[in-house]
Structure 1
Amino acid sequence: MADEPDPDRLRQLEERIAAVQKARQPKRAGRNKYDTSSLAWRMVLELVVGMALGCFIGYGLDVLFGTLPVFLVIFALLGFAAGIRTMMRSAEEVKRDHERSNGEAE
């Protein structure tokens, strides 16, 4: 009966293999301050770009039609709204990623 493996030795071997595999798994890096600051800059840039595009389009239309403040104000407000909407999408994306990573960690 020397062919049968010893159950205690097999259990110890399985425990050692599991410990080595756990040690070799890459650690999940959490968000650090640089990720957070880059996210903040991204959101600010989205807002500023939306405003700038709205202002440029509005000013161009005002120069074209000779109605200086009208289209500038309208498109500046539309650009602001578009920037806010883009920021909200980015925040929702970050929230989904955060929830997904927390779900995998548990």
Structure 2
Amino acid sequence: MASDGANRPGRGTGDNPSEAELSERLRRLGERLGPERAEADVRPASSAGTGSDPNGIGKAMRLSSEFIAGIIAGFGIGWLGDRLLGTSPWGMIVFLMLGFVAGIMNVMRSAGMLGRSLPGKK
């Protein structure tokens, strides 16, 4: 088996590389790895996939709670309107859909997708 170190420099061939040879090999390896190291340093830490971003988790929780709050508010208003007016289940259906739309609008506004002008329009 090759795990005895026969493929390592200076092993199995009888010659031991000098300190200068090893330093030269290390320098050449550093030059070859240089571009990859520079690209790794430029990449943002979040794209590396190491751990989670607490700011991203907080934003996701805020957006999801705004969406759910819109749906619950629409359901509650519709249910209350049906009880008071006796129009069951139509008020709840209408206001549930309005709550869904309001939740989507809140998420888009919080995410910064609303309020921007379309490209080409001023």
TM-score of the superposition, structure 2-length normalised?
A: 0.49
Distance 1:90 1:56 in 2: 23
TM-score of the superposition, structure 1-length normalised?
A: 0.56
Secondary structure in 2 aligned to 1:41? helix
Runs of 5+ consecutive residues of structure 2 not aligned to the other structure: 1-44, 47-51, 117-122
Distance 2:66 2:87 in 1: 28
Question: Does structure 1 residue 33 correspond to structure 2 residue 53?
Answer: yes
Cα shift at 1:67: 1.3
Distance 1:67 1:61 in 2: 8
Cα shift at 1:72: 0.2
Q: After TM superposition, where is structure 1 displaced by more than 6 Å over at least 4 residues in a row? A: none
Percent of residue pairs bearing the same amino acid type: 37
Alignment match of 1:45 (pick from 50, 65, 78): 65
Cα shift at 1:66: 0.9
Runs of 5+ consecutive residues of structure 1 not aligned to the other structure: 1-29, 97-106
Higher helix share: 1
Q: Encode CA deviations 1:5-62: one digit per residue, 9 max, x unaligned.
A: xxxxxxxxxxxxxxxxxxxxxxxxx987110001001000000000000000000000
**For this pair of structures, how many residues does the alignment match?**
65
Structure scoring higher RCO (CA < 8 A, sep ≥ 6) equals 1
Computing the radius of gyration over CA atoms, which structure comes out larger, 1 or 2?
Answer: 2
Indicate the residue corresponding to 1:85 in structure 2: 105
